[in-house]
Chains A and B, each alone.
Chain A
């Protein structure tokens, strides 16, 4: 059974710092991995989607990497800003059962001005 974990559960950094969020999954038979952002009281917004054949994806100050064989993904945020404060969740989609999407518990990020 696929299990997704995220470390740390919460993170507080001063503005301007670069930071890394971690996501681990137990079953490497994934179709893709996605990083989402969730603001308090809101739904999820997709940030980056990495297909299983890819190693990384970049969007602006965000860079997500994927090491499928070791069951790990990282989300790198450069030059953090207070507006980056949110909960970040990773989710993996199964290789064959495309609708079996398993979410991690999320990392709550606070960027202090």
Chain B
């Protein structure tokens, strides 16, 4: 299993540009998440999905959109990039059941908006 994979690893955007951060997991997990991590801060939840076709907002959804057309993929879309969106973005997934229902994280995408 590759686990959770994210592309790209790094990206520099100009203000107003758009892009899609890709996330794929091969563990057949129903739940998937997008977080952002700012320097010296914990992770903040942007959006999450409990299964294909179902998404919901987290703590900081403004400026982002998501879709979940398949179990494996959960892309994050930035429509009009702003400097405040400079951050490291992590995708995660987990099973829906089980006591040890830990999240598995991807390696992250480092985004800079200039």
Contact = CB atoms under 8 A, between A and B. Distances in A.
Tell me whether A and B are bound partners. Answer: yes
Interface of A: 4, 9, 34, 41-46, 49, 51, 89, 91, 99-106
Contacts of B56: 99
A43 B41 contact: no
B42 A102 contact: yes
Given A99-B31, A99-B33, A44 B105 contact: yes
Contacts of A42: 107-108
A43 B108 contact: yes
A103 B43 contact: yes
9 contacts: A34-B103, A42-B108, A43-B108, A44-B105, A46-B102, A49-B102, A91-B42, A101-B45, A104-B42
A46 B103 contact: yes
A4 B102 CA distance: 18
Interface of B: 4, 31, 33, 35, 40-45, 48, 50, 56, 58, 90, 92, 99-100, 102-108
A14 B108 CA distance: 30
Contacts of B90: 43-44
B105 A43 contact: yes
Pairs A-B, 6 closest by C-beta atoms: A103-B42, A43-B105, A103-B43, A46-B102, A44-B105, A43-B107
B48 A99 contact: yes
Nearest to A1: B59
A89 B105 contact: no
A89 B103 CA distance: 13
Contacts of A99: 31, 33, 45, 48, 50, 56, 58
Contact of A105 (B4, B31, B40, B50): B40
A48 to B, nearest CB: 10
